[in-house]
Amino acid sequence: MDLKLKIWRQPSAHADGKFVDYQVTKISKDASFLEMLDILNEELVNKGEDPVAFDHDCREGICGMCSLFINGRPHGPDNAVTTCQLHMRKFKDGETVTIEPWRAKPFPVLKDLMVDRSAFDEIIQAGGFVSIATGGVPDANSIPIRKQNADLAMDAAACIGCGACVAACKNASAMLFVSAKVSQLALLPQGKVEAKERVQKMVAKMDELGFGNCTNTYACEAECPKEISVTNIARMNREFLVAKLS
């Protein structure tokens, strides 16, 4: 496959950026998207040019670092995958592919396609944990939990914090991410002790960092690589209302 790439290049967080055109040739349709970028970078290095900076780590769809906006979609033209799981067979020979970083005020660009997503870490530090002494690992059957709740908690815990929900939202809202982290603890007995304090602190930190509000367009759910449901947002809203009224 031969492709034309329009890639956002920005030398640093304080420099202006622009799109730069590149050509890649003879790319296997079975290559991953990040492998294609690796090939481009190898060519750039051989020419003595600065390679394109992009985040990656596990390349197994687990860490969420491969956060790229590709042809107008977070993680590109496929569903329920991260960028590292995206393959070149999703593109056509001769196609122009536009690659950008996440566009959100709380995710400032560091260089090229890399953004600072430490805002998510700050939200977790505000309350996305259980601080009670739980002792050793209990037997799986010693704490009765309804299967429905256990399943919902596991579904919410699947969130990898990649930021695709923020990138997809016209308001740069982090509601899906925050609600998933609130839900996975609110549904379990271990999380009940700090439930009221947790949701208020996490929502307050989300607002403080400059994330927008939810307007129910469902774009976050549609683009989430782990298919986190917006029902978690409704649950977080209920938790927040109960906490405020208590």
pLDDT value of position 140? 67
| Tens-place pLDDT, residues 180-206 | 999 999 999 889 989 999 999 999 999
CA 27/CA 36 separation, integer angstroms: 7
Contact 35, 78 (CB under 8 A): no
* Vertex 154: Cα angle to 188 and 103 (nearest 5): 110
Contact 28, 34 (CB under 8 A): no
Q: Amino acid identity of 14? A: H
pLDDT bucket at 132, cuts 50 / 70 / 90: confident
Residue 244 has pLDDT above 80, yes or no: yes
- The position carrying tokens 């704490």 is 143
Q: Which residues contact 71 (CB under 8 A, 6 or more apart)?
A: 77, 97, 98
Q: Amino acid identity of 184? A: Q
Contact 31, 84 (CB under 8 A): no
Residue 138 has pLDDT above 80, yes or no: no
Task: Please name the helix (run of DSSP H) or strand (run of DSSP E) that holds residue 149, with its range, or none.
Answer: helix 147-157
CA-wise closest residue to 167 among 112, 223, 214, 231 = 223
Q: Which residues contact 34 (CB under 8 A, 6 or more apart)?
A: 54, 56, 59, 66, 83, 84
- The position carrying tokens 């590109």 is 76
**Percentage of the chain surpassing pLDDT 70?**
99
CA dihedral of 114, 118, 120, 122, whole degrees rounded to 10: -170
Domains of the chain: 3-111 (3.10.20.30), 118-245 (1.10.1060.10)
Work out the average pLDDT over 202-231.
97
Work out the average pLDDT over 70-89.
97
Mean pLDDT of the chain: 95
Neighbouring-strand partners of residue 100: 69
DSSP letters for 179-191 = HHHHHHHHTSHHH
Residue 237 has pLDDT above 80, yes or no: yes
* Strand runs labelled E in 82-217: 96-100, 109-111, 114-115
pTM of the model: 0.94
| Tens-place pLDDT, residues 84-110 | 999 999 999 999 999 999 999 999 999
| Tens-place pLDDT, residues 5-49 | 999 999 999 999 999 999 999 999 999 999 999 999 999 999 999
pLDDT value of position 134? 66
In this predicted structure, which of 57-71, 100-114, 121-135 has the lowest mean pLDDT?
121-135
Contact 51, 30 (CB under 8 A): no
Task: Please name the helix (run of DSSP H) or strand (run of DSSP E) that holds residue 166, with its range, or none.
Answer: helix 164-168
Work out the average pLDDT over 141-155.
90
**Percentage of the chain surpassing pLDDT 90?**
92
DSSP three-state, residue 52: coil
